[in-house]
Amino acid sequence: MPSDEFVIFDGPERNLLNLICRNVRRSEAITVFLEDYKVVWQSLSIPAYIIPLVALTGRPGDVTFSLRWIIVAAYPDLSRCMFKLNRQAAKRVLHEMDFWLPAATLLLGTLSGAWSCSFEPGLCLVFATYFIAYVILVLLDDADLSERVVDGGNDPVLYLIVLAIVGALVVIFLFGFCPAAESKLLYIEIINRT
């Protein structure tokens, strides 16, 4: 099947951070800072994704349940990954149904999970962070024009980690390992006017 070819320009003036800052030198300085400490941000984000899964199994008031706030440590690396995205490539990704269908269903699942936990603030932050991480690291991955991604694609280990986290969330909620969550009845009445 033939496809249209297009040119996407790359550089610090084309990333999302420059769109926010509107200053190339400032966005370059922030990008350099975030990339210089990339290993630190990634090292913080690994336990920040795993520890809240353990915290979900605790009861409100337990020490383990209070560990859910550690998910905030994932945001520097998420910001680094989002800020380096090429805005022209991100715009093309956002125009595809391959982005919107998984994003919409995940948003619905995120809202359902937050609703089952009665919108407890810490758990809402956990759900929102997993949603943001999936959108940035998986769905918007095609907008990352770094040499590593363009040359060989992303490491499949990242996708396996995301799959393991989502699978753990499903198991925790499906088998009732999250005492803070409770089943909610959603009743939709459809009126037939025929």
pLDDT tens digits, residue range 120-174? 888 888 889 989 988 888 888 766 666 555 556 566 777 787 788 878 877 887 7
Structure confidence at residue 149 (pLDDT): 56
pTM listed for this prediction: 0.77
Ordered alpha helix ranges (H), the chain: 16-21, 24-36, 38-56, 63-66, 75-83, 87-94, 97-116, 121-134, 147-152, 156-174
Give residue-wise pLDDT tens across range 87-106: 777 777 788 778 888 889 88
Give residue-wise pLDDT tens across range 9-27: 666 677 777 777 778 788 8
Mean pLDDT (the chain, rounded): 79
Instruction: Compute the distance between CA of residue 64 and CA of residue 21 in angstroms, rounded to an integer.
Output: 39
Instruction: Compute the distance between CA of residue 17 and CA of residue 19 in angstroms, rounded to an integer.
Output: 5
Instruction: Compute the distance between CA of residue 166 and CA of residue 53 in angstroms, rounded to an integer.
Output: 10
Structure confidence at residue 148 (pLDDT): 55
User: How much of the chain exceeds pLDDT 70, in percent?
Assistant: 84
Residues pairing with 86 in the sheet: 15
Ramachandran quadrant class, 179 (left: phi over 0; alpha: psi -120 to 50; beta: rest): alpha
Cβ atoms 13, 84 nearer than 8 A: no
Structure confidence at residue 141 (pLDDT): 77
Place of tokens 């980690």: 161
Give residue-wise pLDDT tens across range 105-134: 889 988 888 888 888 888 888 889 989 988
Instruction: Compute the distance between CA of residue 125 and CA of residue 156 in angstroms, rounded to an integer.
Output: 26
